[in-house]
Structure 1
Amino acid sequence: MSSVPSSTLTQTSAAAANGSNAAAVKSSDEDQNLKFQLKQIEEAAKLAFENNDYFVQILDTIVAISLAQPLNNTKLQIKCLNFIHKSFVSKQISSFDLRVQNCLKLVDMLSKFIINSEVAINLEKISYNLIQKSIEIFASVYGLMFLQLTRFPDSQSWSKISKLKDFLISKWPSAYPLLPLNKETDLTRSTGCKIALAKLLGKVIQTQLPCPPNSINPKNDLSAVTDDNMDISISLVNKNHPFLYSSSLNTQGQMLIDYILNLLNNDALLPTSFFSTLIAILMSLFKTRPNFTSSKILGFILAYESQFKNPPKFETDKLKVRLTRRFNDRIDRILMSMLLNRGFIDKDPPLKSRFANKLSYMVEKSNKQKKRSILSDENDIEDEHRSEDENSQKLKRRKLDTEKSIDFFDESRIAKEETYKGIYTLINPKDELANFDISAIPSEFINNIVILGLSKTDTNKLNAGLEIISSRYLDLYNRFQLREQQQQSANNSSDNKLNAQDKQQNKNNEEDDLYDPSSGVVKKEENGNDPDKKDEEFDFELESKNFELPLPKILDPDEKQDQIKLIVDNFIKTSSAKFGNDKDSEANKTDTQELKKVAISRWKRNSWIKLLSRLATRGTKLNPEISNYIRDSLFNYFKEDIKGRIDGVIEWLNEEYYDEFIVSKDESKDMSSSNYMKYTGLVLDYLIPFLEPSDRNIFIRLLSELPYLDLSLISKLRSVCTDPVRSKIGFQPLLYLIMFRPPVFDDCINFLSDLYNYAVERNNGQLQNECLGYLKKYKPTIIPSLEKPPQDNAVTADTS
């Protein structure tokens, strides 16, 4: 597989992983960087859809980008999630096997969006579109994940899937991810996520219940499952499977059927969009799992009547309620007509007769409604086909249920705003009373109103309201505590060091205030505990007239390491910016007078790199941990813009080589385990995926100025040479090494030979010709051994 996707996306992944440095970048640079990342992801997604061979590599990188980015970077997260949605939900990746093999990679990413722990601390972190798309993706791939785990068991992945599934089931049928208001109103809110969650429940039910004996795949053959025959069920699981062959999955599937039917049989009137989705899911289960669902679904359709459903208590738009009833009845009529016309209930004549009578009643009712205007206030309860006693009983039942219903519009136990209004408001925020400025009323009137209101308020209602408010207080308190703990844990080590330094400085300042340098006298502090004593100065002579500062406290090794790391971090953050501009200023000259003494005759922009590299190789040589920390800090700095900072990279690596193999002259040291080889390999690994045709000069310069190269480092050019688009970037530096660096001539030839054999194995004619061209010109004697027929090679191997 070519590395073209890596060249377009690895830079985006690196930028996501290095988000800690974003605070130092200007907002305009951040916007440009974000636009560049979005463009890279869009181009990579287009490439993956055009050529599915690149899909795995691009999917891995995009998932890594999403996991590394914070949730509030919604533009980039949506772009990443759109790629996943198109690949698995819209099935723009046509290969069924490819989607099955890679579906488990999405679990961590989906869990990050759906089980959003940051919402508990910061409510503004929520992103509705991201959560809805994540649920849709999870609903689409749940069956694929089940199939993949059936083939290749992985208990850790199944644990993550079960946790995510159980979390979503616990949110049924709330207003998730929106904060709750009340049970009745919440049924009409967050419709998009409700529909996605309903589809997930349908997929879980279908997957965790066995298919009927007369299914499309009666032998339960795993290889027979395709896009056309995608009836994935627990029937595919072998009895010896470590965790999927469980009765609890079957029980959960049947329980979820009851969850859906209980909501439909509830007295609440459901929105038509949500109602139609639930009906579509039930009919799909009626077809695929009839032995578990047929009797329950038929009973529901026969008993459903929208006129006996209660609209949300706080819904004031009566026209909206009437339309919802009519549309839901129309769906019910369509279902009954389909069941009768397609022969689903022909085997049960009594049931068929009941359906026919119910259908004729619904048609007659619909005709009457059409004759009346939709704007008229119709009485849906009156019906000549039903007795008055039955109607009166249902009206009484509805009245009693209404009396027992909720009392507050906003019953959320979570404060939606971190204000007093957010804590105490229980009414509809759109109500004019919610925006009334009570401060304009005199306090004595307010007191009378409050006292009168409390005297006439039901005790149970008052207790319920106070319980909600106290829960909001507790939620806010816990939220603030978690936020403080998060901030303290992030800055704990550095804050402790700074606090210790501040205390010592304050102590020294206090001692300085008590000392008079002109007289050598220390003034005693005033004793504020004794009120009888007057303000007096108690002087006493020191034995020595000269004040001596106390010796500094000796730091333990751990404290030394922390201080050095702090120095290195601050040096990297500030040195380049401090000396990058204003070269001729007097302040700059003053600051660098002492630095010039550190073997640096003239301070330049990158002089600090020389200072840190020498500190790593010479100054902290006895402490490998500190030395490696400095090296890692330098490497992380270069990763941010490795092309623009190539001068510093070359200078640093030359210093590493000089110290290890010129100054030390340790002949017993293994070259492969040296710091030079380690970080040179890391630099090449990180630079090569970003190379573009315009970077030819800087790449040749890097390879030409590195003090040492061997076959292991040269072999890192393989990914570039095998890339049809960027092959010149790999072969031109290789040609330069062959012509102008004789010590690596043999290694370059060996690399070309290996590359030629690789091209032969992959049947890559273009790469074969490229390698042969260089070998014929610079090492023609090796050609016969490369061009031997495979049979001759086999005979030779047998003879040996």
Structure 2
Amino acid sequence: MAATPVADQLRQLGDARALVLGDPVYWPQVLHGILPIVSGPIVELRRWGADFLAETFSTPVVDINEKQSLAVTCLDTMVRLMDEKEAGILKSVVQCSASVYPLVFRYMCNNRDDQATWDKMDMIKSKILSLWDSGPVGVRLGCIKFVQRVILVQSRGVTDPRLADRSEISLTMVPTNHPVLSLPALDAEAQGLLDRLLSILHEDPRLDKTLIYDPALITATLNNLSVIVKTRAPLAHKILSAVMNFNPLAIIAKANTVKNRLMMQCMEKTVRVLLMNIARANQNGPYTAKISQHITRLSQAKAEVLEELSRKRPAPSQTQPEAEAIKRMKVENAQAQAVITPTATPPPPPPVAVITGPMTYGQLYTLSTDVAMTSFDGQQLPIDLVLQIIVGSINSLSQQTLQTAIAAVNSRYTALMAYVPPASVPIPQDGQVSQAAQPGAEETQGEQVEQRDIEKKEEDEEEEEEERELQLGKFRLPPPTSLAPEEMHDIAIQAIDRMFSVVDQFDKTSLISRKSKLGANRLAASNWDREGWIAVLTRLATRGMGDTAPDTVKEEVKGKDEENGEIAQMQVPTALSTAIREKLYNFVIADFRGRMDVAVSWLNEEWYNDQVMSRAGVNREPQYRKWMMKVMDGIFPFLESKDRLFMRLLSEIPEVTVELMQKVKMLCLDPDRAMLGIQMLHYLAMLRPPVRDMCMDVLEDLYQNHVEVRVQAQKLLQKWRPEALAAIDNAQNNTQNANGMTATLVQRNGATTATIN
């Protein structure tokens, strides 16, 4: 056996496993035979042995008394395997220990003097508890299951002997004078492990932003608490208090990302299912009403959080250095602006028009210098509208602006009252001279006339000079300042952000309630409504930005052109079009239930542009399949069984690919969403005949390889592909007959001994 290669040994061990699966009578013999082999130096054999041990103590086909004797026998091997560094082996050993611990505890209750066996089990327990905080995620999940078993075993079950389950292993089985098992110590350890198990529910990411939230550990903890609540009534109050104080929606306060939203929904669903199962198990229990109220509050809080997230745009995807640089630039600009323009400077008073002479009340109280406003006759408006305008204007005015306007009118009124018109002086007629004139009046008057003539001549010359300057040529504005490519890209992104903000102002339009009924004959953006802005954005992403980068940034594609043997080059999208596509993707994913129309419009534009470019002979990277799969990857994790409108999205996208059908297949394998996946396949096969063959291929694979959805797949296959259904049944019958004959021959020839030796 030692000289046999590892592959042959693994094949022989696989034959031995197949034998015990066919006939569990041989299980103890095979287990005793492989223990020396799986404890050797070959890591592949140790990995197989750890998996086989976990399967041995978890299978229900082996008798419980036989498992107890096998558990005591395997403790030495499990102790050696606990020193492994590989996560897969450790995970299997921890899972095996969770099944072995109750059996060893039961053995110790009946064998009071076997201190060595309990020391081995205690050593395994200590190593598992040390891995609970430091091991890989898969190992830590197994540790949570082991801790649950320890709490169940080391706590008291039902005290009434009439209601107690005889097969249950609990602290009530331990004699009071047991020399090895101490009742107070075991009970205290169980309480401490329960507190440590519940501690993960007490952590709040809103208080500690550095907290690393692991939804897998939280979900595993919640799932394991259900059994403890149902079987250990004294511990139910502590567990339910911790679960109801746990807020699965608080993780979204740490960061509004797709991952955190998915984690929030998963944990909220786990809490809701846990509480519903507890209430359903005991409908007349003391916690039923409290659980019902908590579930209602949790549903309302989730709806409020989702509504708030749908109103917010997702944060831009930036690296930490880029985010810090942008933040620093904004702070510096704000500081510079604060230095240039002090915030404490009051606004200047409105200009006061200088009016000499008599004026009307309208001229007295009019502060505006706009000609259109001053020439407008307010008497044409109805009195009700005038009152509304006045009241609205007064409510919108600040106290400082009102005081400034009153001061301006007051100063104008004061100047008007102090104004004294000059006395009228009689103008002498030609040839007459005033008697009060002095002897040199004629000379003075002549000098004044000459001075006025000189000034008028100078003014005329200046006007002629200005006219000549204006007639030299056409006036042109100076050219705009040239911008760097990075600045132009940032400005374009800011413009796109403003366009998305405009789209957010409109009401959401579902796929059913669209107003456009003209189909292909309608204009893309005939009205500036929500659909018009979406059409502009999608066409900017697909065609508006040139769509492909210039020749200097083309990517080389591996391979050569078949005609000239040169390396082929493929045009890639520009950085700006890619940025717009990313924003469209984030916009859709943020609220995909209310923005499926945006996804349909965008993906149709991508597919149409790919077809146009392909027919034009442009060697261009196709964008439809890339972004369609990215959108589906972002939507599928958030789908629930009630999201049947999503089938409408699959029916309206222009092309359904094989990769998308594989995602629908994975949806069919999810127990919570299997019915939604089957309905999607049925809907597509019935209303979209071109993809019916792909749907039937998926259903055929589900019927052949997955028993849990065989009944649903059989109904659809019977309708559209009955011949494949008959062929699969015949092949499976032939395989079962062949396996039965092989097992019979193996048992007759004594293959067990040959395999082990």
Query: Per the shorter chain, which TM-score range?
Result: 0.3 to 0.5
Q: Greater CA radius of gyration, 1 or 2?
A: 2
Normalised to the residue count of structure 1, the TM-score between the two structures is 0.36
Normalised to the residue count of structure 2, the TM-score between the two structures is 0.38
